Chains A and B, each alone.
Chain A
Amino acid sequence: MNVQQLVEIVQGQVLNPQVSLRHELKGGCGADLMSDVLASVKPDAVLLTGLCNIQVVRTAQMADVRAIVFVRGKKPTAETIALATQEGIPLISSPFGMFELCGRLYQAGLHSLEEPVSS
């Protein structure tokens, strides 16, 4: 699934339409704890989150997350959008909640890229 197809599934609004939506997504993860994303997510995932600050974009950049979906219609700050645009990371606002989004995407064939925490 690429980001463009994901946007349709989550009925999302792309907040930085200047960014390419062509990236292929290998799977997904849902988290509000950025350390969890950094610790457990494999590259080329979409991140579903309720967190809207600039650190979400930095985390995505470090963890090679290819797109970010904000749940329940949340919109990030202008600085967050500006940074994501600069870094080429699409930001998508979806009206659905985290649970609904995970379900929809999983059903559409997108699987988890979260790894269990092990030492």
Chain B
Amino acid sequence: MSNLHELQGRRGRIITDKDAREISRVEELSYDLKISEVMTRNVKTVSPDMPMNAVLEILRVNRISGVPVLEHGDLVGILSIEDLVRCMEKNELHFPVSAYMSRNIVSVNAYDSVVKAIETFSTQRKGRLPVVDEAGKLVGIITKGDITRGVLNALQRDYHEEELRRYRASHLFEDITSDRTSLILRYNIKPRDYLNGGQASSHIKRALLRLGANPQLARQCGIAIYEAEMNLIIHTTHGGIIRVQIEPHRILMQTTDDGPGIEDVQKALTPGWSTASQEVRDMGFGAGMGLVNIQRCVDRMELESAPGKGTRLTMEIILRPEERFKETEENGTVA
């Protein structure tokens, strides 16, 4: 399988596109990850009047190579193992921390990206950087080891979550053989549930991306189904259903409810025509542009409705050859 090829490629030191993507992902992560996510919390600290031999003990017991110095909660210095060595050479272990600590403090902000810490490490000769919050209070400490560990963890997390999901889902149509395979997603929509409005659409868009849809296609479907979902929430009497049927060559989306129905379907399709309440308009919807928007996003839209019976909105997108979901060659060719 393709995995084997990749392994051989790597042994042969050929950098594949996949490798290149992973390299840039590490760079990306150094921007995405915040210092607060990778730093060490619960930092050991010392006070300026503490004798150096007590610090020696703290470093030894905790197996660390430096500590921030706090006075009344404020960061006033850093004491590293090098300072301790200087002190031992002079045989002054009974001296206070204040005599040996470095007062030149270079700190980083907890909300900064990890890349900021990397930059600071490369310009300053420091083994560790104290991390402060917006008020300047010490909240952690960061070393190069913390960064490596943080990035590796994030890479693994990333890979295991989204990449793996995408990898699995994108092979769905390839892994299953049938004369005509389709995936159906259903969502129950409650009336006037504005707080969750768009949640189903968000799941649908994500599902399409995981299945391997290109971003433009996922966006088009997302916009159409979101407008339709909001229409359903705004107008339905008892609630309704969103049904999305995904096939390798097309996407069919439908919203259905059992009331109240539309008096004049032709009128409802007129741009700017709306029966929405002020409440709905205050949310940024109900300007009578929803159906017009949907029409622009799909290849076919059909609105069927009868007053007192219900409404069904059908939206169909026919995928262009390059947009189609990959399926196994054994599958029956669809008409």
Instruction: Give chain A's interface residues, CB within 8 Å of chain B.
Output: 17-18, 20-22, 32-36, 38-39, 43, 49, 51, 53-56, 58-59, 61-64, 79, 87, 119
Contacts and interface: CB of A to CB of B under 8 A. Distances in A.
B198 interface: yes
B31 A62 contact: no
Contact of B113 (A20, A34, A54, A119): A20
A54 B284 contact: no
B219 interface: yes
A119 to B, nearest CB: 7
A63 B219 contact: yes
A31 B292 CA distance: 18
Given A34-B284, A62-B202, 7 more contacts: A34-B285, A35-B227, A36-B289, A38-B223, A39-B289, A53-B194, A58-B198
B222 interface: yes
Nearest to A40: B293
B64 interface: no
Given A55-B197, A59-B226, A64 B284 contact: no
Contacts of A38: 223, 226-227, 293
Contact of A34 (B201, B222, B283): B283
B293 A33 contact: no
28 contacts: A18-B34, A21-B113, A22-B28, A33-B289, A34-B284, A35-B284, A35-B285, A36-B289, A38-B223, A38-B226, A38-B227, A38-B293, A39-B289, A43-B219, A49-B284, A51-B284, A53-B284, A54-B197, A55-B194, A55-B230, A55-B285, A61-B198, A61-B222, A62-B202, A62-B205, A62-B226, A64-B219, A119-B296
Nearest to B284: A34
A96 B102 CA distance: 43
Interface string B281-294: 00111010110110
Contacts of A22: 28, 31-32, 113
Nearest to B204: A62
A18 B326 CA distance: 37
A43 B293 CA distance: 16
Interface string B143-158: 0000000000000000
Nearest to B134: A17
A8 to B, nearest CB: 14
B332 interface: no
Contacts, number: 85
A39 B288 CA distance: 12
A33 B289 CA distance: 10
B16 to A, nearest CB: 25
B195 interface: yes
Contacts of B113: 20-22
Contacts of A20: 31-32, 113
A34 B201 CA distance: 15
Contacts of B9: none
Contact of A62 (B34, B223, B285): B223
B307 interface: no
Nearest to A21: B113
B136 interface: no
A43 B223 CA distance: 12
B198 A35 contact: no
A61 B202 contact: yes
Contacts of B111: 17
B215 interface: yes
Contacts of B215: 43, 64
B222 A35 contact: no
A43 B320 CA distance: 20
Contacts of B226: 38, 58-59, 62
Contact of B205 (A18, A54, A61): A61
Contacts of A59: 198, 226, 284
A53 B283 CA distance: 7
Nearest to A37: B284
Contacts of A119: 292, 296
